[in-house]
């Protein structure tokens, strides 16, 4: 591993030799290294992006608020599923957003025992401010890209993200099965 935390491509991989008969190993290593560097850069810049907005809504809460704005009136359980988080975490974030006046609870007309979360006018203003800052930032990032390059990158990134998510789910499922098998609980090996 080098100073940047990436694995240098050497040997047969550096020469583009195939590791598995399908993809050149160097190409896979280049993608992996680029993703690692992107994640580092995003972590460093996330605080700066949030600081560009005048409110103090943290990143995770901002994502939840933006999702609530996109979804419209919705239950906390639906929001949790949308942001791929557990309900207890989302409930804590919702409490903060309600206390700050960015979300409000309204009775669910289909089930009076449940409540729907609705973004307030103040919440919509926060979402709009963050969206404006985000778009201004990304406009600068791709300012020297052609429209075709932007479209191609967006398409490939969407494709990569979907493949990454699917692969991650399979890896986690396999890891859970292996752990359950090693612990002697094969009935726990099927997370479904």
Q: How far is CA 166 from CA 36, 159, 171, in A?
A: 18, 11, 9
pTM (two decimals):
0.66
Q: 10 pLDDT exceeds 70?
A: no
pLDDT tens figures, 92-115: 999 999 999 999 999 988 887 889
**Which residues, including other chains, have CB under 8 Å from residue 106's CB and lie 6 or more apart?**
73, 115, 116, 117, 118
Please report, rounded to a whole number, the percentage of residues in the chain having pLDDT higher than 90: 50
**Domain range summary for the chain, segments of one domain joined by +:** 56-162
Q: Is 30 helix (H, G, I), strand (E, B) or coil?
A: helix
Q: 184 pLDDT exceeds 90?
A: no
Fold classification of 56-162 is: Arc Repressor Mutant, subunit A (1.10.10)
Q: How far is CA 6 from CA 1, 29, 38, 160, in A?
A: 6, 9, 11, 19
Q: Which of 42, 48, 47, 40 is nearest to 4 (CA)?
A: 40
The H-or-E segment that residue 7 falls in is none
| Average pLDDT across the chain, whole number | 82
CA 3 to chain centre: 26
The H-or-E segment that residue 152 falls in is helix 147-182
The H-or-E segment that residue 79 falls in is helix 76-82
* Residues 190, 105: Cα–Cα separation, whole Å: 37
Parallel, antiparallel or unpaired: strands 111-119 and 103-108: antiparallel
The tokens for 135 are 């778009």
Contact indicator for 73, 117 with CB cutoff of 8 Å: yes
Average pLDDT on 2-16 reads 46
User: Looking at residue 116, what DSSP letter applies?
Assistant: E
Average pLDDT on 78-86 reads 91
């Amino acid at each position: 591993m080098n100073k940047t935390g990436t694995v240098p491509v050497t040997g047969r991989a550096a020469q583009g030799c195939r590791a598995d008969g399908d993809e050149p190993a160097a190409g896979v290593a280049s993608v992996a290294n680029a993703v690692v560097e992107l994640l580092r850069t995003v972590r460093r810049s996330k605080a700066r992006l949030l600081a560009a907005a005048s409110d103090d809504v943290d990143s995770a809460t901002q994502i939840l608020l933006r999702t609530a704005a996109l979804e419209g009136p919705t239950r906390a359980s639906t929001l949790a599923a949308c942001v791929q988080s557990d309900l207890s975490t989302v409930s804590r974030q919702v409490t903060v957003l309600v206390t700050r006046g960015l979300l409000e609870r309204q009775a669910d007309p289909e089930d009076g025992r449940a409540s729907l979360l609705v973004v307030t006018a103040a919440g919509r203003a926060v979402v709009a401010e963050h969206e404006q800052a985000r778009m201004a930032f990304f406009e600068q990032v791709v300012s020297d890209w052609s429209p075709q390059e932007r479209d191609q990158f967006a398409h490939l990134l969407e494709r990569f993200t979907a493949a990454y998510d699917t692969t991650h789910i399979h890896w986690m499922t396999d890891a859970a099965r292996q752990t359950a098998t090693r612990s002697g609980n094969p009935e726990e090996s099927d997370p479904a």
